[in-house]
Amino acid sequence: MSGEQELGITESKEHSTGEWYAEVVQKAELADYAPMGGFIVTRPRGYAIWERIQDHLDGWFKETGVDNAYFPMFIPESYLEREKDVVEGFDPEVAWVTHGGYDELEERLAVRPTSESIITPFIADWVRSHRDLPMRLNQWCSVVRWEATETKPFFRTKEFLWQEGHTAHRDEDGAWDETMTRLDQYERLYEDVMAMPALKGRKPEHDKFPGAHTTTTIETLMPDGKSVQAATSHYLGTSFAEAFDITYADEDEEDQTAHTTSWGLSWRSMGALIMLHSDDQGLVLPPTLAPTQVVIVPIWQEDNKEEVVEYAADAAAELDEAGIRVNLDDRDNRNPGFKYNEWELKGVPLRIEVGPNEVDDDELTLVHRPDGENSVEDRADIGDTVEDHLDTVYAKLYASAEETLEGEIREADSREEILGTIGQHGGYVKTGWCGDEDCEEPIKDALAAEIVMVPLDRDEDPVHDDCAICGEDARVTAYWAKSY
């Protein structure tokens, strides 16, 4: 296979989304498949994107009182069983360690599917007084959920990277404020860093995190009309505090039960980012997350090579000095066309072309990755000029994603209309809903669609007076969609 054939994307995003996505992930050098089914190897370019997501969130967490910690990846079975809802919710997905070397363990150890059961007992030990609250802990780690589904890098793997926050508070108001603070930070990440408009809501009662009082969610829409649960923030009430005895002495030295939260975002966010923005030429990344924001490609003949490359190198040095992540591609063994295709495939947001004409005129030609728009700019103040163009690229990505979302929220008032709308268009369908889980089954069975969220405001009037499925009085608006 030639270099050109190896480089290009051969699948169509519109017509074979799954195959196209897998090809982009591998050919853009983000990840490879591991020898064990359900696992992936994250390559440096892929991990660099995850690190930038981490950096943004971690900074915001610390600005709002969160401390990072690390807890063991193994959880004793007895700890997991102390919160019965967690056991029931995660039991089919738990990987168990039964032996250490040749010796059978006295107690099975769960490979963490989530860490409430190992973190909460320590919070209980560390909290004594109201002065110890609020306590806010976060850890960046991997978790394992043994789901027997087809591997989809970053979307669906048995092991995945994430952050999980765990906090304890004096009362419901403090814990609810915490829940919403984290949900707002996740929304900020998607809107301001990932160029992805997001919907905020809460999960229906039957789809809450096991043991939670309320699960809030960020949902994002993919081009194929499927929704992605992009982050969740849970108000756990007192269920975990009661199970693990998190109590504190109040100002009157009376024992009180704490209220707790947990909240998390995984590398599924990367999967959504890749799928939403990328195209048939390869990966598309917002400048905020791109490992390389600008590539400079000098175009020379033998008689002007030195002059062109020096001009390009000076521009690269100036951009680097301005804090822009820039790469000068002055390889001799690849022609400019190959370089253009390669850097487009790898998702570099902005390309700068430098030929003898640019050198003579003291200019640079700038090309935007999302749409190929190009403009000729003065060489002077190139740092500010490039920053402006990167902002424009981000705005283009957001506008395109916003257009996708806004056109894909529809209404329906019957089972047939829900099935017809999702079947034909995908996207979200809003209906009245009585709140009964049984009303979800006819849509789930027929179309594998479900209620992905309801409004955050419990007092908000439903979009229709009657439940679209059973005809009883509607209690809430349901957002139906197929989902990843």
List helix spans (H) across 407-480.
Answer: 415-425, 441-447
Q: Identify residue 381 by its one-letter amino acid code.
A: D
Q: Going by DSSP bridges, is the β-strand pair 67-68/31-33 parallel, antiparallel, or unpaired?
A: unpaired
Q: Does residue 60 surpass a pLDDT of 90?
A: yes
pLDDT band at residue 2 under the 50/70/90 scheme: very low
Higher pLDDT, 151 or 184: 184
Nearest CA to 289 among 316, 342, 251, 325? Answer: 325
**pLDDT for 116-165, tens place per residue?**
899 999 999 999 999 999 999 999 999 999 976 788 999 999 999 999 99
Residue 92: band (very low, low, confident or very high) from pLDDT cuts 50, 70, 90: confident
pLDDT over 90, % of the chain: 92
Report DSSP letters for 31-75, one per residue.
EEE-SSTT-EEE-HHHHHHHHHHHHHHHHHHHHTT-EE----SEE
Range of lowest pLDDT (77-86, 323-332, 397-406): 77-86
pLDDT exceeds 70 at position 473: yes
How many H helices and E strands in the chain? 15, 23
Q: Supply the mean pLDDT for the chain.
A: 95
SS3 254: coil
CA 161 to CA 142: how far, in whole Å? 4
Q: Which amino acid is at 62?
A: K
Give the residue carrying structure tokens 């790469």: 327
pLDDT at 404: 85
Query: pTM (2 decimals)?
Result: 0.95
User: How far is residue 36 CA from its own chain's centroid?
Assistant: 24
pLDDT in tens, 331-371: 999 999 999 999 999 999 999 999 999 999 999 999 999 99
Give the model's pLDDT for residue 3. 41
Provide the pLDDT confidence category of residue 85 given band limits of 50, 70 and 90.
low
Of the pLDDT bands very low, low, confident and very high (cuts 50, 70, 90), residue 1 is: very low
Q: Output the pLDDT for position 349.
A: 98
Per-residue pLDDT band at 4 (split at 50, 70, 90): very low
Q: How far is residue 72 from each of residues 112, 162, 331, 452, measured CA to CA in Å?
A: 8, 15, 46, 32
Per-residue pLDDT reduced to its tens digit, 225-251: 999 999 999 999 999 999 999 999 999
Domains and CATH numbers, the chain: 17-277 (3.30.930.10), 294-391 (3.40.50.800), 412-482 (3.30.110.30)
Give exposure, 9-38, as e/b (b: 16+ Cβ within 10 Å): bebebeeebeebbbbbbebbebbebeeeeb
**For 287-312, what is the mean pLDDT?**
96
Q: Comparing C-alpha atoms, which of 384, 447, 378, 383 is closest to residue 417?
A: 447
Q: What residue type is assigned to position 58 of the chain?
A: D
> What's 466's DSSP letter?
B
Average pLDDT of span 66-73: 98
Is residue 89 predicted with pLDDT exceeding 80? no
pLDDT interval class at 5 (50, 70, 90): very low
